[in-house]
Chains A and B, each alone.
Chain A
Amino acid sequence: MSLQDRREHMERCTRCSQCKWVPIPASKQFSSICPSIEYGSFHAYSGGGKNITAYAMLENKASYSGDLVRSVYACTMCGACDTMCKFLQGENVDLLSNLYELRARIASDGQAPKVYDDLRKQLREEGTFLGKRHERSRWAQGLSIKDITQRPADVFLHVGCNNAYDASRWRELTFIVSLLDKAGIDFGIAFDAEVNSGGVAFDLGFQEDARQLAEQTLALFRASKARTIVTCSADSYATFRNIYPRLGLSIEADILHVTQFVSSLVKEGRLKIDARSSETLTYHDACRLGRLSEPFEPWNGSRIKVLEQLSVQDPPQRVRFGVGGHYEVPRDLLAQIRGAEIVEMERNREYSYCCGAGGAASKAYPEFAQMAAASRLDEAVAAGATTLVTASSTCTSHLATVAEQRNMPLKVKGLFELLADLTGEMSS
C-alpha cells in the first residue's frame, strides 16, 4: 500500500466537516470529536484537512514545512475522524487508511518530527521507547511468575510498554497477576524478552520498524505455544487487531484484552468481585481499546460502477465503523462494584474523545496532548463523576498527570487499580 494507492479514496472526501464532530452533540462544550482541529484550528488539522494535505502532496501542491508536519503529527491517530467520516460516507474515503499512508510518506521522506528520531532509535535498540530493555520486568521483581520463554503456559500474559515502565501502573499489574493466580490460570510472561508490539512505530509512519517489532512479538508468541494471548495493554490490543493485519501479519492464538479475560473468569465463577464504593464513576473509552481495536480485514479488490454511476467495492469490503471495539466488558466489570454510581460522559464508546495520550503525539506536542486531556477531564466532571476510570494505562498515566497539574476535583484510576483499591484482593 502507498499514498498513491489511496488517491481514489482521498478524492471522495466531500469536505462536509463531519470528521470534526460527534453526530448528535449533547452540548456545545463537548461537541467536538477531534482534538487535533481543536488544537490547531485551521482546517488542515482535521481528518478531512489531512486528507487534502495528502492529496495535495500527490499533486505536488504541498511542500514540506513546519506547519505541514505539525498539522499531521499533532494528532493521536485516535480514529475518531475515520469513524465519523464513515458515518456519512461509508466505504468511500476510509480516512484512517489514508492517514496511515500519509504518515508513512512523510516518515520515508525523513520529514517526521525530529523528536521521533530518538524514539525510533530507542525502539530499535531497547525494544521500547520508554526505558532500557533490562528494566522492562522490574515490576515483576519478587513475584513468582513463570517465564514463558523458558517454560510453556496456557496463557501468554503480554504486559505492554507503558505498564512495564511506568511505576505508577505496577500496582495494577501485580493485582492482575494475583487474580490470575487466584483463578488458577497457568500463565507466564516474557520478562525482558518482550518488545514493543509496533503500534506506535506504525502510527508515526515507520512501517518497517513496526513490522520488525511485530515479527519479534509474533516469534515470542509462537515460541511460547500458548493458546491464548492476554494483553494488559490497550495499545497492543489495537495493534494486534488493527495494525498487524495491515502489515499482512496474523496471530495464531486467541487474543484477549485483560478485561475480557478477567470478566470471563468472573462469569465462570472462578473469580468474584467483592467491591463497594460510594464514588460516582465514569468510564473513559480509550481509543485503542475502543474504535481502534475493531479488527481490520485485508481486502484485495477494486471499485466497479453499477447502476451506471454508483461506485462500489468489489468484492464487498468489511468497513470498520468503530462499533467492533471493546466497550461493554469494562463497563460490566465496573457495574459489579456495589454502591457506586456509574455515569456516562457525553462522548462515549465509538464517539469517545481522545485524551491525547496515544500515538506518542505528546512527545512532539505536549501542549496538544494536555489540551485534549483537559477537555476529557472537564467532560468527566460535567458528567458528575468523582473518579474517571479507564482500562488503558497510557490514558490513565496521562489523564492522572494532567488532572494533578490542573488540581482537579477528580481522581483518575486504572480499572484494576480501582478494583485493587476497593477489594484489596478479589476472592476466588
Chain B
Amino acid sequence: MTLLSTEVFNELCTILGAAYVNRDDNFLASHDWVGIGGSSATKTLLGNPPGAIVLPSSTEEVAAVVKTCVKHGIKFKAHSTGYGNLAGVGTAGSVCIDLRRMNRLQIDAANQMAILEPYVTAGQLLAEARKVGLFCHVIGAGPVHSPLASATSFCGVGLPGNFTSNNARNLLSLEWVTPMGEIVRIGSAGSGEDWFTGEGPGPGFRGILRGVLGSLGGLGVFTKIGYKLHPWSGPQKMELTGRNPLLGMRLPPNFKFHQVAWDSWEAMSAATFEFNAANIVTVMTRVPPDCIGLMLTQTNREYYDSFKSGQLPPVARSDAGYGWSMLLTAYSDEEIKYKEEVFDAIVHRTGGREVPTTQEEQELLALTLTTSIHVGRSGRRGMGGGTSMGVLDSFALLPKVAKLTEELMEDPLAKGWMINAHPDQNWMWPSEGRHFWTENAPNCDRTDLEATAGNMEYTLASFNKADQRGGDVGISAFLIGDAADLYGPGLGHVNDWMRKTKNAFDPQNLSDSKAYIQPEMTTVAKVWPLAKKFLFRPAFKSVLHNAMKRLVT
C-alpha cells in the first residue's frame, strides 16, 4: 500500500496528468527491486517502495514535482534508466521521478558534442554519434545506461575510457533542478549561450555538484547536459558479426585487436607507461580472464563445463598472465601500419606476449571494448559480490593495488564465499591514457547469506586497508553512502565537503541521500574511528561478519 497521501497524489496528477502518475502496488514494486552485483542485500524486493512514480516530460514539470515534494516534506529521487541497485529510492514513500519521457537528443557534430536528456541511452547516443564520425564514452553498465546520469551523478569510468575519458570530464554545461525546485543552468548555458562548457561563462560550480563521484540522486535532478563526443575512425554503421548472444563487430582493415600479457603486474605497469607515451592505443582495458570466459560463453553451464574441462580459450584462462585487451584504430593504412609497428616494438621490448585469439573472439572482445555490451555477463555469475576500494590513480600503483586486494580475497575464497575461480578479478579501465581505474570485484550467489556478508566484509576490509596505508594505494573512489563518513576523513575530509554541499542546497534533506551523504553523521560513523581499530583484528572477525549479515538481510 502506498505511503503517499491522496492529496499529494492528486497534486502530482494535476501537474503531469493522471496517466503519468502511478501508485499501483506492482508498479511501485518495480522500483523496489535490487538485482545487480555489489548490492548489499540478499533479497530482491527491499520492502522500500516509493509512494508514487511520476513521468515528467520537461524540466518545468520536474521542477513542479520537486516543489510539490518540498511543500509537503516528501523525499524524492530521480531515476533514469534504472540500472540495477540504483533503481530504487532510499526511503519508502518517496516520489520516484522516472525520467523516461525526457529523451531528446541533439548532436552538434562540428563541435564534437551532444546535448541530451536523462533517458537518452548510451546505445542511442553511440548510434547517432557514429553516423557523423564521432563516438561516446560507455560505462561498464553498457549501452542501456544514461550518459546524463553517469556524467552528472556517478563516477563514470568505462572500458573505452582511454580515448573517451571518464564522464566527470565529459560533462559540459548542465541544467539542474535544485532540491528546492529551482531551475538552474550551469556553465555556458547559464549565460544563455550554447552547452559547450561547464565552467562558464555563467555560473560554474560543476565540481561542487559532482566531484569525483557525483551525488547519486542526493542533490536534486539533472535534466539536460552538454556532453563531449570523441572522434571515431570506424564505420558509421557498426557491422555486427555472430548471432545472439555471441555478437561481435566486423573489424575494418584499420582496426587491430590485440590481447597482450606480461609475466607480472610490474612488467604490465611498466609497459603501460610506454604505450601511453607512444599514444598509439585507442582502447586499452583489462577484463579479468574469468569474465572474458563468461563473455565468450552463452550460459553459466557452458562456462563451467569449459572451465572444468580446460577448454576455455587462452584469453579466458587464469594463467593468461597480466595484461590488456587493446584496440588500435586509425584513419589510414599508413597510420595503422605505424601503430602496429610501434605496438610490436613495445611488446617485444617490455617482455610482453600476444595471447592467441580467434577472429570470433577478437570481434566479440572488440565490441565489448567499444560498447561494454557484454560486461553485464559478469553479473550472470550470481549477482552478488563485493568490490575493492576502486582506485582511480596512477598506473604505477597497479601492482600494489592488485596484490593487496588479492591478499584480502584469500580468506573469503577459502571460506567458499566467492566464486572459486581465481583471486584475480581485476577490472582496469584507463582514462585518457593517464590515470586508470581498477577494482577487484569477485562474485557470489546473492541468495547465500554467509557469502553475501563475506563479500561485504571484503569490501569494507579493502576500504580499511587503503585507509590504513594513508593513500599509498591511490585514491579510493567508492566513497558513497555510509562509506563517505567512514573513510572520507582519510581523503581530504571529502565527507565534510559533501555534507556542506548537501546541507547548503538541500536544507530539508528531501533529495534522496541514501547513496550520497546524510545531513548528520550517523552513530556508526561517529564511533567508527574507534571501532575500526578492533573490527579488522582476527579476534573480531565473527563480530564483523555478523554485523555484515545483519546489514545484508
Contacts and interface: CB of A to CB of B under 8 A. Distances in A.
Interface of A: 10-18, 20-28, 31, 41-44, 48-49, 52-53, 55-57, 59, 61-63, 65, 67-68, 71, 83, 86-92, 305-314, 316-317, 319, 321-323, 350-351
Contact of A56 (B25, B84, B374, B421): B25
B379 A21 contact: no
A307 B421 contact: yes
Contact of B128 (A27, A87, A311, A323): A27
16 contacts: A15-B84, A16-B36, A16-B144, A18-B142, A25-B123, A26-B238, A55-B33, A71-B27, A86-B244, A88-B376, A90-B298, A309-B445, A310-B419, A311-B382, A319-B298, A350-B244
B416 A309 contact: yes
Given A14-B35, A309-B420, A319-B298, A86 B245 contact: yes
Interface in B123-149: 123-128, 141-144
Most chain B CB neighbours (cut-off 10 Å) among A22, A56, A65, A309:
A309
Nearest to A65: B24
- Sort A-B residue pairs by CB-CB distance and give the 6 closest, nearest first: A62-B26, A90-B299, A56-B29, A28-B124, A67-B24, A88-B376
Nearest to A291: B244
Interface string B86-115: 010000000000101100010000000000
* Most chain B CB atoms below 10 A, which of A16, A44, A55, A57: A16
A307 B312 CA distance: 15
A319 B27 contact: no
A23 B445 CA distance: 26
Nearest to B246: A321
B238 A41 contact: no
Interface stretch (B300-308, B462-470, B536-544): B300-308
A15 B446 CA distance: 14
Contact of A13 (B35, B100, B144, B420): B35
B522 interface: no
Contacts of B25: 56, 61-63, 65, 68
B367 A321 contact: no
Interface in B292-343: 298-305, 307-308
Of the candidates B83, B126, B383, the one having the most CB atoms from chain A within 10 angstroms of its own CB is B383
B244 A88 contact: no
A111 to B, nearest CB: 12
B380 A92 contact: yes
B443 interface: yes
A128 to B, nearest CB: 33
A15 B142 contact: no
B443 A309 contact: yes
Contact of A11 (B36, B44, B238, B379): B44
Contact of A92 (B45, B83, B300): B300
Given A16-B36, A67-B27, A317-B301, A90 B245 contact: yes
A307 B98 contact: no
Given A42-B22, A307-B420, A350 B35 contact: no
Interface residues of B, number: 80
Contacts of A89: 376-377, 379-380
Contacts, number: 233
A67 B25 CA distance: 9
Given A68-B24, A309-B419, A87 B244 contact: yes
Nearest to B371: A24
Interface centre among B30, B127, B237, B303, by most chain A C-beta atoms within 10 angstroms, is B30
Given A61-B45, A86-B245, A52 B33 contact: yes
A323 B240 CA distance: 15
B123 to A, nearest CB: 5
A52 B123 CA distance: 24
A16 B84 contact: yes
A52 B127 contact: no
B83 A17 contact: yes
A312 B374 CA distance: 19
A12 B126 CA distance: 29
A204 B312 CA distance: 42
A11 B41 CA distance: 12
**Most chain B beta-carbon neighbours within 10 Å: one of A65, A310, A312, A350:** A310
Contact of B445 (A13, A16, A25, A305): A305
B447 interface: yes
B418 interface: yes
B418 A309 contact: yes
Contacts of A44: 24, 26-27, 29-30
Contact of B244 (A12, A61, A83, A308): A83
A24 B247 contact: yes
B420 A308 contact: yes
Interface string B18-40: 00101011110111011111000
A71 B29 CA distance: 13
Interface string B253-269: 00000000000000000
Given A14-B84, A310-B300, A42 B55 contact: yes
A53 B30 contact: yes
A351 B240 CA distance: 12
> Which of B29, B82, B128, B371 counts the most chain A CB atoms within 10 A?
B29
B448 interface: yes
B30 A23 contact: no
Contacts of B302: 90, 316
